[in-house]
Every structure is written in C-alpha cells, then in structure tokens.
Amino acid sequence: MTTPTQTRDRSGDGPGRPNEQQEPGRSRAGALLLETVRNNMRQYGMLVALALIVVLFQIWTDGSLLLPNNVSNIVQQNSYILILAMGMMMVIIAGHIDLSVGSLAAFVGAAAAVMMVRHDMPWVLALVLSLLIGAAAGAWQGFWIAYVGIPSFIVTLAGMLLFRGGTQILLEGQSIAPFPRGFQEIAQGFIPEMGPYTQYHNPTLLIGLVVIAFVLFQEWRDRRRQLAYELEVLPFNLWLLKCVAIVAAVVAFTLTLASYHGVPVVLLIMCVLLIGLGFVMRNAVVGRHVYALGGNKAAAKLSGVKDKRVTFLVFVNMGVLAALAGCVYAARLNAGTPQAGINFELEAIAAAFIGGASMSGGVGTVLGAVIGGLVLGVLNNGMSLVGIGTDYQQVIKGLVLLAAVGFDVWNKRKVGS
C-alpha cells in the first residue's frame, strides 16, 4: 500500500462516503492512533491497568469477581466515591483542591436524616433540599476562594472541620434511622422489572440497546461531520474496530447486569452525571474556561475568561455532588451517622489523580476520574474477596496511587527529552 504524503489530499473530494477513507496508508493510520494513545497516556494506561486488575482478580477469585451480583455490588459500593471523584476532577482541573467533601457529604446526609426522620418530610422534598444545602455550602466555599482569594486548601480544610462539627451538632452524636423506602432505593434499588419473563431483566436489555444505538449514532454523526468539515478522521477500518469494541463492552456489561436484578438506580444517576459533566467539560464554554484557568490562569484572564465566576461555579458544582454523594451513602447505610464520609475526600482525590489529573491543574477528564475510581474500587472489592485485610489493602492502594502518578511523570519526562 502506498502512502499518500499529504494529509489534506482529500480536500477536493467533497464530503462523502466513508470508504474513501480506506485510502490513507497504514503508517499514517498507525501514527494517528499512536498519537491519540500518547496524548491520553494516563487515561489509556489506566484503562489497561483496570482491565488487568479485573482479569487478575477474576482468576484469583475463581470467577466470583465478575459474577452478576458482585458487579452490581461493585457499582453500588463505589457510587458515592465515583460521584465525588467526578466533581473533584473538575476542581483539580481548575487548579484547586477540595478537602471538605467527605465532611460535607456527612453533613448533608445528616440533614436529610433529620428532615425525613425527625420532621417526617417526604423523601423527594428532603432530597431536593439536601442538594440545595450542598449548593449553598459550595457557594460559601466558592465565595471565599474565588472572590476573597483565600487558597482553596485553607478554605476547604476549614470546611472539613466546619461540616464535620455541623454533622455532630445536627445528629447530637447519634445515628438517625430508618429512612423511607423510596430514599433507600437511591442507593440500593434497581430499575423495576417489566414485560414478559425472559432469562434476563427486560428494561436493562432495553437500556443496553438504547445505549448502543446512541453511541453508534453519536460516532457516526461525529465522523460524518468531521468529513463534512474536511477534518482528519480515523481510517474506516479502525473506526469500525472502535465501534465493535464499544458495542461488545456494552453488551457484556448489560448482559451481566440483566442476569441479576438489572440496572441499579445509582448507576443510572452516575451515567447521567458522567455524560452530563463530560459534555459540559468538553463542549460547553464554561467547561473550556475551567481547563483554561487551570492551564494558565494569567493567560485565561487576559483572554476574557471570568476567572472568579468560573471558580465559584466549580465549587458550587462540587457542593451539589458532595450532597448527592452524602444522600447516596446515607441511603445505602439507611442511616445518618456522625462517622459518615470519613476519608471520602482522600479517596476522591486519589481517584482523580490515578485517572489523569495533574497537581498544577488544566489536565484530566471526568471519565478519567471514573476510571481512577473504578481502579480503586475493583482493588478494594477484589482484595476483600480473596481475604486480604484492610491493613494491607491500604498499603496496596497507596502504592497504586504512587505508581500511577509516578508512571505519568516518568512518561512525560521521556516524551519531553
């Protein structure tokens, strides 16, 4: 196969049929692929690492890791950390840190418990109010950070103490339980079964199909538009391979879930967040401004980015997500307790860094945070299954964090030299 030397050689062809794209040579396709991989090294690396960890524990546990009920379990067990990690990723991209999320989650969980148990409030109203409390707490911290200029480390360290204390005041040192059924379902529930009896959970299958259709449509539309704008695209073969891989992954995951109770409610919530926040960070003006601020604050300001407002919004968003995580955790325990959320901030921060965030800001994706969180989550679950004690679990998680970031530093240095 000969290699066309120029990349813009199709400018005259007009927008069109995908099979024109088979022409570009293998070397260019390879280079393009390599470049994509290299530019997203940490994320791809972690995806590979996640796959390896899954395979390792799948063998080690004689296949119980990927049993349908354990997969559901992993999702539910890690949901609140993943929710926090998504928000934390945005905070870190903006060049800040939030140490208060664990305490805030506990505080909001306690507030929800007080509202529902002591004041018999309907759970939907309590949930909405809880999220508003989270937003207010985020606005409080965002105000000091963005408009007054106190470093986020200090403000959120203060918040960590403040909200922890507030939790204990609200709960008077005791746990409050139980919650209405509906509230518990947020963390423990599944989407209800419908339709005729099949071997599988019907709505889950349907959701799987919708997801596949949506993803394929999105891929196809993206590709078509890229061609219309005469932009460079992946060669058709590779694109097809990518689509097949995505479909296979979704099918496998769907079938696994569908052979147990189906899609957990909290998974649905997380998917909505992942897609929504991912879209905002990638495509919304405000998301771009977050990256720009973290990458070079001075340059962003001189380009007209309203730095204070963007920083403020990032913390409001973090507050809402912390509140949601707090509700999910409380719902899972079916109690508001003063001990809730301890060390959640550290897990979330670790997830973000494993998933590709940079200490100096400006880098990372929401999906990366989820992958980082899953690495930690699967490690936790797998190690528990094979009977490794929590003492060693912590040691291993610490080493994984160090190795992930260390690998990235090493990799960057190699590219830089």
Partner 1 sequence: MTAPAEQFEKGPGADGAGTAGRPVLEMRGISKSFPGVRALSDVNLTVHAGEIHAICGENGAGKSTLVKVLSGVHPHGSYEGEILFGGEPCAFKDIRASEQRGIVIIHQELALIPYLSLAENIFLGNEHSKRGIISWSETLRRADTLLKRVGLPDKPQTRIADIGVGKQQLVEIAKALSKEVELLILDEPTAALNDEDSRKLLELIGELRAQGIACIVISHKLNEIRQIADSVTILRDGRTIETLSVRERPGDEPEISEDRIIRGMVGRDLDQRFPPRTGYEGEDAGTVALSVSDWTVRHPIDHQRKVVDGVSLQVRRGEIVGIAGLMGAGRTELAMNLFGRSYGLYERGTVRVDGRAVQTRTVPEAIGHGIAYVTEDRKTYGLNLIEDINRNISLASLSGLARRGVVDEHAERRVAEGYLRSMNIKAPNVHEQVQRLSGGNQQKVVLSKWIHADPEVLILDEPTRGIDVGAKYEIYTVIDKLAAQGKAVVFISSELPELLGMCDRIYTMAAGRLTGEVSREDATQEVLMRHMTETLDTGAGTGTATGTDTSPGTTSGDTGASSTSSSDTSSEDRAGTSPGSTSTFDSSTSGTSDKS
Residues found near partner 1 in the complex (CB under 8 A): 7, 35, 39, 225-226, 228-232, 279, 282-286, 288-289, 291-292, 295-296, 298-306, 358, 362-363
User: What DSSP element (H or E) covers 111?
Assistant: helix 101-113
CB of 298 to partner 1, least distance (A): 5
Contacts of 409 (CB under 8 A, 6+ apart): none
CB of 299 to partner 1, least distance (A): 5
Task: For partner 1, give the closer residue by CB, 78 or 311.
Answer: 311
User: What DSSP element (H or E) covers 51?
Assistant: helix 41-60
CB of 375 to partner 1, least distance (A): 23
Beta bridge partners of 336: 176
Q: Could you tell me the two tokens for 2?
A: 């000969």
Task: For partner 1, give the closer residue by CB, 275 or 299.
Answer: 299
User: Degrees (nearest 5) of the Cα angle 78, 47, 105?
Assistant: 25
Task: For partner 1, give the closer residue by CB, 10 or 332.
Answer: 10
The whole-angstrom separation of Cα 303 and Cα 314 is: 19
User: What DSSP element (H or E) covers 112?
Assistant: helix 101-113
The whole-angstrom separation of Cα 357 and Cα 355 is: 6
**What is the DSSP code string of 75-92?**
HHHHHHHHHHHHHHHHHH
Q: Could you tell me the two tokens for 155?
A: 């403000």
Task: For partner 1, give the closer residue by CB, 69 or 303.
Answer: 303
Task: For partner 1, give the closer residue by CB, 362 or 373.
Answer: 362
CB of 336 to partner 1, least distance (A): 36
Task: For partner 1, give the closer residue by CB, 130 or 317.
Answer: 317
| Dihedral of alpha carbons 29, 34, 37, 38, sign | negative
CB of 80 to partner 1, least distance (A): 29
Contacts of 68 (CB under 8 A, 6+ apart): 256, 257, 259, 260
CB of 225 to partner 1, least distance (A): 5
Task: For partner 1, give the closer residue by CB, 194 or 272.
Answer: 272
CB of 307 to partner 1, least distance (A): 9
Instruction: Give me the helix-helix angle, 307-333 and 123-142, nearest 10°.
Output: 140
Contacts of 106 (CB under 8 A, 6+ apart): 163, 164, 167, 326, 337, 338, 339, 340, 341, 342
The whole-angstrom separation of Cα 358 and Cα 89 is: 10
The whole-angstrom separation of Cα 131 and Cα 126 is: 9
Task: For partner 1, give the closer residue by CB, 261 or 301.
Answer: 301
Contacts of 99 (CB under 8 A, 6+ apart): 153, 156, 157, 159, 160, 345
Task: For partner 1, give the closer residue by CB, 93 or 205.
Answer: 93
CB of 286 to partner 1, least distance (A): 7
CB of 290 to partner 1, least distance (A): 12
Task: For partner 1, give the closer residue by CB, 14 or 178.
Answer: 14
The whole-angstrom separation of Cα 204 and Cα 110 is: 33
